[in-house]
C-alpha cells in the first residue's frame, strides 16, 4: 500500500488547497482525537471517487489503467512474483 501513499497525500493536499476541506470540517474530541465531520467526509469520498476514474499509463502493461484498479493490479503482480511466475516485482512508480 505504501506504493500508493502519494496518491492519498496528493488528494488531501488538493482538497485543502482548493478549499474543499477546511479547518471547520474537523471535529476535536476528548483525548486529542480529530475526525472529519459529515461534510468533510463527503468531500473526500466524492473527490476520491472522481480521482479513481483517472487513467495512468502502466509501465509493464504499457496501456492506460484506471487509478482505482492499480492496487488490485499490483497485488496480482506481487502474487505472480511470489509464486515464481515472474522474475521480479515491478513497483508502480508515478512519473
62/75 same-domain check: yes
Cα→Cα distances 51→33, 34, 56, 79, Å? 28, 25, 11, 26
State the residue range of the domain holding 45. 1-52
Number of domains forming the structure of the chain? 2
30/12 same-domain check: yes
39/19 same-domain check: yes
- DSSP letter for each residue of 22-65: -GGGEEE-GGG-EEE-HHHHHHHHHHHHHHHT-EEEETTTTEEE
44/72 same-domain check: no
48/60 same-domain check: no
The pLDDT of residue 25: 96
Confidence of residue 95 (pLDDT cuts 50, 70, 90): low
What confidence tens digit (pLDDT) does each residue in 8-59 have?
899 999 999 999 999 999 999 999 999 999 999 999 999 999 999 999 888 8
Pairwise CA distance, residues 95 & 46, whole Å: 25
Q: Which helix (H) or strand (E) holds 66?
A: strand 63-66
36/71 same-domain check: no
What's the pTM?
0.75
The pLDDT of residue 13: 95
Amino acid at each position: 500500500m505504501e506504493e500508493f501513499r502519494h496518491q492519498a497525500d496528493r488528494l488531501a493536499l488538493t482538497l485543502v488547497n482548493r478549499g474543499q476541506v477546511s479547518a471547520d470540517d474537523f471535529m476535536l474530541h476528548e483525548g486529542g482525537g480529530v475526525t472529519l465531520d459529515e461534510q468533510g467526509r463527503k468531500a473526500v469520498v466524492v473527490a476520491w471517487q472522481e480521482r479513481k476514474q483517472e487513467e495512468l499509463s502502466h509501465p509493464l502493461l504499457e496501456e492506460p489503467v484506471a487509478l482505482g484498479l492499480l492496487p488490485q493490479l499490483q497485488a496480482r503482480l506481487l502474487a505472480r512474483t511470489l509464486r515464481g511466475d515472474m522474475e521480479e516485482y515491478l513497483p508502480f512508480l508515478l512519473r
